[in-house]
């Protein structure tokens, strides 16, 4: 059984049909990307999976449970974590307080402290700024913090909405190295990106979304070599 299975999902905003009956799966341990142009329906899909938007129809099964109609806090408790576009960190709280929020539903305090120490070793920038207000961090540091906070919730599925958005190229590389480190730890990842080349480079499989539909899917390498994908998303090679 797939960790996540989405069947015929439709999501409307009043009369706008943003997601038009898409089906896809994510297996445990995979990194899968959902790629496509602005407005294709990617963010709407992730928000619906998180319970932040209601599905109009269709079925979502995560870890053996039907999510349809479940409120966002219950879905989060099933260990499905979303790092939203714009990171969603608490800007007036310190870096450490933000990290602690990621672990609010855990009772294993000693393990949490060990994991925060590991995060500080992996991401020394966060260690240096642990007492600083999170809103004062750079965009890349805020993305690091959002990833670290999500990790502390020990997700079974980590959904990332455009982690490279608005970052300088060098910081994009850093963030993607961190995402690969997370994947190597065995965390399953569903990644949304407009930077198609980057997303395919770290994914095993991908789905291409256009105007609310999935139009193409397959192994990341196959998609990267597909002439239609190259023409639409990868530019001249």
Contacts of 148 (CB under 8 A, 6+ apart): 99, 102, 119, 123, 126
Instruction: Give the closest residue to 74 by CA, choosing from 91, 53, 51.
Output: 51
Question: Alpha-carbon distance 57 to 184, whole Å?
Answer: 34
Tokens of 84: 């939203």
Left if phi > 0, otherwise alpha if psi is -120 to 50, otherwise beta: which for 69?
left
For residues 22 and 144, which CB has a smaller minimum distance to ligand ATP in the complex?
Answer: 22
x/- letters, 165..194, toward ligand ATP (CB under 6 A):
-----------------------------x
In angstroms, give the least distance from the CB of 146 to ligand ATP.
Answer: 17
Alpha-carbon gap, residue 63 to 28, rounded angstroms = 9
Closest approach of ligand ATP to the CB of residue 45, in Å: 7
CB of 36 to ligand ATP, least distance (A): 6
The residues in 76-95 that bind ligand ATP, with binding defined as CB under 6 A, are none
Give the per-residue contact string, 92-121, with ligand ATP (x = CB under 6 A; - = no).
------------------------------
CB of 85 to ligand ATP, least distance (A): 6
Hey, which residues between 32 and 71 contact ligand ATP (CB under 6 A)? Answer: 36, 38-44
Chain center to CA of 222: 22
> C-beta of 60: minimal distance to ligand ATP in Å?
16
Q: Which is nearer to ligand ATP, 102 or 212 (CB)?
A: 212
Q: CA neighbours within 13 Å on the CB side: how many for 166?
A: 10
Return the residues of window 4-23 that contact ligand ATP according to CB under 6 A.
13, 16, 18
Compute the CA torsion angle 235, 139, 91, 83 (nearest 10 deg).
40
- Which residues would be at the binding site for ligand ATP (CB under 6 A)? 13, 16, 18, 36, 38-44, 194
């Amino acid at each position: 059984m797939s960790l996540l299975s989405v069947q015929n999902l439709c999501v409307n905003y009043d009369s706008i049909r943003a997601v038009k009956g898409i089906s896809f799966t994510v297996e445990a341990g995979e990194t899968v990307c959902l790629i496509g142009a602005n407005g294709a329906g990617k963010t709407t899909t992730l928000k619906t999976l998180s319970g932040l938007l209601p599905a109009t129809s269709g079925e979502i099964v995560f870890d053996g449970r039907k999510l349809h109609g479940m409120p966002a806090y219950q879905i989060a408790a099933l260990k499905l974590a979303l790092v939203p576009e714009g990171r969603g960190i608490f800007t007036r709280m310190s870096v450490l307080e933000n990290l602690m929020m990621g672990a609010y539903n855990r009772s294993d305090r000693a393990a949490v402290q060990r994991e925060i120490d590991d995060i500080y070793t992996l991401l020394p920038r966060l260690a240096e700024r642990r007492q600083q207000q999170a809103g004062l961090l750079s965009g890349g540091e805020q993305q690091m913090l959002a990833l670290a906070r999500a990790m502390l919730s020990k997700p079974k599925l980590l959904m990332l909405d455009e982690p490279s958005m608005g970052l300088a190229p060098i910081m994009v590389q850093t963030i993607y190295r961190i995402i690969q480190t997370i994947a190597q730890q065995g965390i399953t990842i569903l990644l949304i990106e407009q930077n198609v080349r980057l997303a395919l480079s770290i994914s095993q499989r991908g789905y291409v979304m256009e105007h609310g539909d999935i139009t193409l899917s397959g192994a990341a390498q196959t998609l990267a070599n597909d002439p239609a994908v190259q023409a639409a998303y990868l530019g001249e090679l």
